[in-house]
């Protein structure tokens, strides 16, 4: 029989909305209203059993607090739908433009005088620019702000999509596609952060991620159909004019709908850009991938080019840059400095398996894109 002074139980302090332990420890405010619970008149449990029950109750309340039924930032249903539409819409346009290009590429090459050696470059350079800059823009968005980076990328994507429609030479369409890839690289990595900061775990967040993922294959499939229709009727340029209108509407709606995510740092954004981002790691990975993509793209145009001295030199440099990346990550982690992709992440089965799955999915999709141009 324990003395009442040594009884172990937890009770709630309603005015402060916090859990007060019998040992004097207080937890952080829960952020939701909790009904007061009466303390038991007598407690015959052992201290260990009482502590276990208290932990279970506390975990249950924390789980409830983390999963409210509506949007986490108290946005309206209309704004929630608009957020999902804008983010999924840009993801849709990302692959829709590639689908239109693949379907219309023979006509585009004929109209713009694109040589056979460069016929795959409008498609390859887009993925090259976007893939190389995803990490850099993702890291920069943490300092500048995800909303600002996304909206900037959305309007730049609109401008360069319109420029593709007005292109007059093969070099112009290659350059505009490269700039279009830069713009989409500002939108894709920030979309994940915008979704998680707008919606809590539950139905809204699941729907947002599902729509964002569904937009890419759907956009490519529809782009192939529309590319063929526009090419055989009013011309392939009008397909990009249509994309320009859609992109402009989505980017404009994003100004109102996307949440402004507060920065979690007392540093100025310029100082945070310099000190809190692993720029050398980003350059190593981006330059290594860029050079490797370049070699692969030239090889796709002419497989004999892999034997040339420039291609061999570029390939060796790219492999050296990519090989040095994990060593730089270990060096940064050992010094307690920011690391772009810490090596310990690859030890997590969930992270590694997702990366492998995404790699093979996109490899299959890109392979189909190039195969359909033959």
Whether 88 and 159 share a structural domain: yes
Domain that holds residue 60: 4-66
Q: Is the model's pLDDT at 22 over the cut of 50? A: no
Instruction: Name the helix (H) or strand (E) containing 183.
Output: helix 170-198
Whether 86 and 179 share a structural domain: yes
Q: Is the model's pLDDT at 110 over the cut of 70? A: yes
| More confident call, 9 vs 217 | 217
Whether 119 and 57 share a structural domain: no
Q: Annotate 138-156 with three-state secondary structure.
A: HHHHHHHCHHHHHHHHHHH
pLDDT at res. 25:
42
Structure-block tokens of residue 189: 């990595």
Whether 226 and 115 share a structural domain: yes
173-208 burial code (b ≥16 CB/10 A, e <16): bbbbbbbbbbbbbbbbbbbebbbebbbbeeebbebb
What is the DSSP code string of 332-355? HHHTT---SS-GGGGG-HHHHHHH
pLDDT at res. 129:
83
pLDDT band at 84 (very low <50, low <70, confident <90, very high): confident
> What crossing angle do the helices spanning 203-232 and 237-257 adopt, rounded to 10°?
160
Neighbouring residues of 364: CB distance < 8 A, sequence distance ≥ 6: none
pLDDT band at 60 (very low <50, low <70, confident <90, very high): very low
pLDDT band at 119 (very low <50, low <70, confident <90, very high): confident
pLDDT band at 252 (very low <50, low <70, confident <90, very high): very high
Percentage of the chain lying above the pLDDT 70 cut: 74
Mean pLDDT value across residues 179-208: 85
pLDDT tens readout for residues 5-14: 444 444 444 4
Q: Is the model's pLDDT at 307 over the cut of 70? A: yes
pLDDT at res. 223:
86
Residue 270 in any domain: the answer is no
Q: What is the pTM of this model?
A: 0.68
CA distance 338 to 61: 34
Number of structural domains in the chain:
3
Structure-block tokens of residue 41: 């008149």
Whether 55 and 80 share a structural domain: no
Q: Average model confidence (pLDDT) for the chain?
A: 75
Instruction: Name the helix (H) or strand (E) containing 315.
Output: helix 309-334
pLDDT at res. 374:
57
Structure-block tokens of residue 106: 């023979």
| More confident call, 69 vs 283 | 283
pLDDT at res. 372:
61
Whether 83 and 34 share a structural domain: no
Whether 111 and 202 share a structural domain: yes
Contact in structure between 105 and 97 (CB atoms under 8 Å): no
pLDDT band at 180 (very low <50, low <70, confident <90, very high): very high
The answer to which of 53-62, 203-212, 336-345 has the lowest mean pLDDT is: 53-62
Cα–Cα distance list, 225 to 217, 222, 229 (Å): 13, 5, 6
Whether 151 and 291 share a structural domain: no
Whether 148 and 237 share a structural domain: yes
Beta-strand relationship, 18-20 and 11-13 = antiparallel
Contact in structure between 130 and 188 (CB atoms under 8 Å): yes
> For residue 214, what is the domain's CATH number?
1.20.1250.20
Residue 268 in any domain: the answer is no
Mean pLDDT value across residues 147-162: 92
Neighbours of 324 (CB within 10 A): 15
Mean pLDDT value across residues 218-234: 87
Mean pLDDT value across residues 41-66: 41
CA distance 177 to 298: 17
| More confident call, 370 vs 143 | 143
Contact in structure between 280 and 313 (CB atoms under 8 Å): no
pLDDT at res. 38:
41
Whether 238 and 351 share a structural domain: no
Give bridge partners of residue 13 from the DSSP assignment: 18
Structure-block tokens of residue 97: 């433009």
CA distance 19 to 62: 11
Q: Which of 237, 262, 287 is the last residue of a domain?
A: 262
């Amino acid at each position: 029989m324990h003395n009442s002074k040594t009884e172990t139980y937890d009770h709630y302090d309603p005015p402060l909305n916090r859990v007060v332990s019998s040992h004097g420890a207080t937890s952080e405010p829960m952020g939701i209203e909790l009904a007061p619970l009466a303390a038991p008149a007598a407690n015959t449990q052992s201290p260990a059993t009482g502590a276990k029950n208290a932990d279970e109750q506390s975990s249950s309340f924390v789980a409830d607090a983390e999963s409210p039924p509506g949007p986490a930032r108290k946005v309206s249903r209309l704004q929630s739908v608009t957020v999902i539409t804008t983010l999924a819409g840009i993801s849709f346009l990302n692959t829709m433009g590639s689908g239109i290009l693949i379907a219309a590429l023979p006509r585009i090459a004929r109209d713009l005088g694109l040589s056979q050696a460069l016929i795959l470059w409008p498609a390859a350079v887009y993925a090259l620019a976007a893939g190389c800059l995803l990490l850099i823009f993702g890291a920069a968005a943490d300092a500048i702000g995800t909303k600002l980076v996304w909206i900037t990328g959305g309007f730049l994507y609109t401008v360069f999509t319109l420029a593709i429609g007005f292109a007059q030479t093969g070099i112009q369409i290659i350059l505009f596609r490269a700039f279009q890839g830069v713009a989409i690289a500002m939108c894709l990595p920030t979309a994940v952060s915008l979704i998680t900061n707008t919606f809590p775990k539950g139905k809204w967040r699941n729907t947002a991620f599902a729509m964002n993922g569904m937009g890419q294959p759907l956009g490519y499939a529809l782009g192939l159909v529309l590319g063929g229709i526009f090419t055989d009727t009013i011309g392939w340029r009008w397909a990009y004019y249509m994309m320009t209108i859609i992109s402009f509407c989505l980017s404009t709606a994003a100004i109102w709908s996307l949440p402004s995510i507060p920065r979690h740092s007392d540093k100025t954004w310029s100082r945070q850009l310099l000190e809190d981002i692993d720029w050398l790691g980003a350059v190593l990975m981006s330059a290594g991938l860029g050079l490797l993509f370049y070699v692969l793209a030239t090889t796709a145009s002419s497989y004999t080019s892999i034997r040339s001295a420039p291609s061999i030199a570029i390939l060796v440099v790219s492999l050296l840059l990519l090989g040095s990346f994990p060593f730089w990550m270990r060096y940064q982690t050992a010094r307690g400095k920011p690391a772009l992709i810490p090596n310990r992440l690859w030890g997590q089965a969930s992270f590694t398996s997702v990366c492998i799955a995404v790699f093979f999915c996109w490899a299959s999709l890109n392979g189909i894109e190039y195969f359909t141009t033959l």
